[in-house]
Structure 1
Amino acid sequence: MPKSDSDVEVIAGSSSSPGSASERRGSEATAPVSAEEAPKPRVIYEYIVRCCVRLEALNRTCCAAIRLMHRLYERKIVKYICNYSLATACIMVAAKSEEDSGIRIRDVVNVSHRILHPEKPPIEVDDSFWTLRRSLGRLEFVVLRELSFDTYMTHPHQLLTLYLDLLASWMPEEFEKFDIREQAFAILRDCHIVPEFVLEHSHESLALVALSLVLKGHDLYVPNCRDFYTVFSKHMSERKLRHLEEEVLQDVYGQRLK
């Protein structure tokens, strides 16, 4: 961990962003941020989603960034470095680990600046921009070092893709009419806002609950197979699936299953 985070937290630290150590003590940032001052983890995860949506990042890049940030919350670094800046660095680390070539550091700096400082004009390519860019690059290394350079993780995305392809062959008209694929992946991404939920359940369960919620949202049923999930998983039951749906609606979206 660096002795001072004043050089690596510039993305958020130069503003009134909540949880900024530089806001509290100027360049003196060696003291930990109190729990009252630091943003809640969910706020940071939602910030990552907003950035990734604007960047048009791969879905799994967004999910990976959240999980990397979740790992950082288990370490002391989150008490000393602006959490927004750490989250931004996690996006860059995730983009590289997931081989998301469409994510460029310049775009990440611009997008994060616009989200954190909506009242300010777009950042210009001047000395301040290059300072932010260099700071983000250094912070990437700090994140990697904190994680012992271990960024490997598996995702449920491939399994969800398989399920969607099979369903599309069974109900092509419905897939043509509704954005089932896009919405299923959006739900899977949003589930990562509660990373504990994602880590507690199998890829199979995560893919099925995302798919089931989309189908129910459009009042759709798989032809000749109302309990479609039994085809994909011998471990899934109606009771378990409904419980998973309730968890997602309540914990992720703040709603109740009707």
Structure 2
Amino acid sequence: MAVGAGAGVAVPVAAATLLFVPSLPPANPDRNFRAAVDPRRIADVITRPPLAYTTAIAVLCGFTFQAVSSFLAAFLVAHRGLAPSTAATAFGAVFAISAVAQPVNGRVSDALSRDAAVAISVTLAGAAIATLVFVPGTAGIVAGVAVLGAGISWPGPIQARFMDRLTDAERGYGFGLLRTVYMFLAASGSVVTGAVASAAGWAAAYGLVVALLGTCLALLGANRALGLEL
């Protein structure tokens, strides 16, 4: 039924696009496609220290996002004993709060710095997950859900961090390449979290996520403390 409902929306939208959206000439008809997939060009972008560092931060945060989006509801049912409907409501609340928190964190990023905004998000997310794992009772669930929603608000500052370190000419190609790399690597969050939960339980699985967020915070701190300017 769900697939049919999706098709019921997708097919008319595709047909309307073909019928009513005018075709446009290519913006860069003379661009050399081979240059875009040149291994040396790709390597130059992804191994540049500030960009490689930002990619590592993005992977750690993205791993956490995958762990939350894939398994939070199941975790709340299995580890916290919530009814599936209640767990689904809590899951939705996390992302509703995140939708409000992301533009706020973007303002923090502009007012303070990209790293400060990411560090605040990472700290909140780590504290929230630890609360959900270890703090008993309804208060632990409510506090964990609310703070987690505020915590997973790092996409804007991280993506802005990439843009700050790319030249104007690189921003289209470079950002697309780096985003592909970090999203591909971060996708392992679903597999790893599920595997650890199956082998050692939910506390271990989400404990790993908290440890990775701690690693992210340590990287941000080292960059600032050592003046690396990455």
- Flag whether TM exceeds 0.5 (same fold): no
TM-score (norm 2): 0.30
The structure, 1 or 2, with the larger RCO (C-alpha pairs under 8 Å, 6+ apart) is 2
Higher helix content, 1 or 2? 2
